[in-house]
Amino acid sequence: MTSSSTPELISVIVVGAGFAGLTAAIECKRKGCSVVVLESFKELKPLGDIISFGGNAGHIFQRWSGVEEQLDPICHSSDRIAFYDYHGDHIYTQVWADGVEYGKKFNGHRGEIHEIVYNHALSIGVEIKLNRKVTEYFETDTEAGVITNGEKITADVVLAADGVRSTARKIVLGYEDKPKSSGYAIYRAWMPSDDLAKNPLTAHLVNDGDKHVGYLGPDIHFLAASIKNGKDFSWVLTHKDKADVEESWSAPGDIEDAVGVVDCWAPIVHAIIRATPQDKLVDWKLVYRDPLPTWISPKARIALLGDAAHPFLPTSIQGASQAMEDGVTLAVCLELAGKVNVPEAVRAYEKIRYDRVRAAQKTGETTRDKWHKTDFDRVRANPASIKLPREKWLLDHDAEAHAYAMYADTAASLRPDAEARP
Ligand X SMILES: Cc1cc2nc3c(=O)[nH]c(=O)nc-3n(C[C@H](O)[C@H](O)[C@H](O)COP(=O)(O)OP(=O)(O)OC[C@H]3O[C@@H](n4cnc5c(N)ncnc54)[C@H](O)[C@@H]3O)c2cc1C
What are the residue numbers of the active site?
Answer: 188
Q: What's 341's DSSP letter?
A: G
Residue 21 binds ligand X, judged by CB under 6 A: yes
> Nearest 5°: CA angle at 394, between 288 and 37?
60
Residue 49 binds ligand X, judged by CB under 6 A: yes
Cβ atoms within 10 A of the Cβ of 141, count? Answer: 8
Residue 117 is which amino acid?
V
Cα distances (Å, whole numbers) of residue 178 to 174, 175, 364: 13, 10, 21
User: Per DSSP, what are the bridge partners of residue 223?
Assistant: 214, 236
Q: Which is nearer to ligand X, 328 or 379 (CB)?
A: 328
Residue 323 binds ligand X, judged by CB under 6 A: yes
Rounded distance, CA 332 to CA 413, Å?
17
Nearest to 231 by CA among 280, 269, 197: 197
In whole angstroms, the minimum distance from the beta carbon of 230 to ligand X comes to 20
Is residue 289 classed as helix, strand or coil in its secondary structure?
Answer: coil
Is residue 318 classed as helix, strand or coil in its secondary structure?
Answer: coil
Residue 343 binds ligand X, judged by CB under 6 A: no
Residue 48 binds ligand X, judged by CB under 6 A: yes
Residues 86-145 that bind ligand X (CB under 6 A): 110, 133-134
In whole angstroms, the minimum distance from the beta carbon of 17 to ligand X comes to 5
Q: Which is nearer to ligand X, 38 or 330 (CB)?
A: 38
Q: Is the dihedral of CA 327, 329, 333, 336 positive or negative?
A: positive
In whole angstroms, the minimum distance from the beta carbon of 303 to ligand X comes to 12
The span of 42-50, 350-358, 372-380, 395-403 binding ligand X (CB under 6 A) equals 42-50
Whether 191 contacts 233, CB under 8 Å: yes
Residues 149-178 that bind ligand X (CB under 6 A): 161-164, 167
Residue 44 binds ligand X, judged by CB under 6 A: no
In whole angstroms, the minimum distance from the beta carbon of 348 to ligand X comes to 20
Cα distances (Å, whole numbers) of residue 193 to 77, 113, 205: 16, 20, 9
Q: Which of 6, 34, 40, 294 binds ligand X (CB under 6 A)?
A: 40
Q: Which is nearer to ligand X, 91 or 320 (CB)?
A: 320
Q: Which is nearer to ligand X, 16 or 103 (CB)?
A: 16
In whole angstroms, the minimum distance from the beta carbon of 146 to ligand X comes to 8
User: Per DSSP, what are the bridge partners of residue 222?
Assistant: 215, 237
Phi, then psi, of 167 in degrees rounded to 5: -90, -15
The span of 304-312, 333-341, 366-374, 413-421 binding ligand X (CB under 6 A) equals 304-312
Q: Which is nearer to ligand X, 18 or 145 (CB)?
A: 18
Rounded distance, CA 368 to CA 223, Å?
12
Rounded distance, CA 15 to CA 21, Å?
7
Residue 196 binds ligand X, judged by CB under 6 A: no
In whole angstroms, the minimum distance from the beta carbon of 48 to ligand X comes to 3
Put residue 198 in one of left, alpha, beta given phi > 0 → left and psi -120 to 50 → alpha: alpha
What residues have CB less than 8 Å from 244, skipping those under 6 apart?
181
What residues have CB less than 8 Å from 126, skipping those under 6 apart?
22, 25, 26, 29, 35, 37
Q: Which is nearer to ligand X, 166 or 374 (CB)?
A: 166
In whole angstroms, the minimum distance from the beta carbon of 345 to ligand X comes to 20
Q: Which is nearer to ligand X, 10 or 186 (CB)?
A: 186
Q: Which of 13, 20, 206, 302 binds ligand X (CB under 6 A)?
A: 20
Q: Which is nearer to ligand X, 30 or 110 (CB)?
A: 110
Whether 345 contacts 301, CB under 8 Å: no
First-to-final CA distance of the chain: 31
Q: Which of 11, 16, 241, 379 binds ligand X (CB under 6 A)?
A: 16
Residue 237 binds ligand X, judged by CB under 6 A: no
The span of 14-22, 99-107, 193-201, 373-381 binding ligand X (CB under 6 A) equals 14-22
The span of 43-51, 98-106, 225-233, 335-343 binding ligand X (CB under 6 A) equals 43-51
Residue 18 binds ligand X, judged by CB under 6 A: yes
In whole angstroms, the minimum distance from the beta carbon of 323 to ligand X comes to 4
What residues have CB less than 8 Å from 173, skipping those under 6 apart?
292, 293, 294
The span of 17-25, 96-104, 210-218, 341-349 binding ligand X (CB under 6 A) equals 17-25
- Positions in the binding site for ligand X (CB under 6 A): 15-21, 38-41, 47-51, 110, 133-134, 161-164, 167, 306-308, 319-320, 323
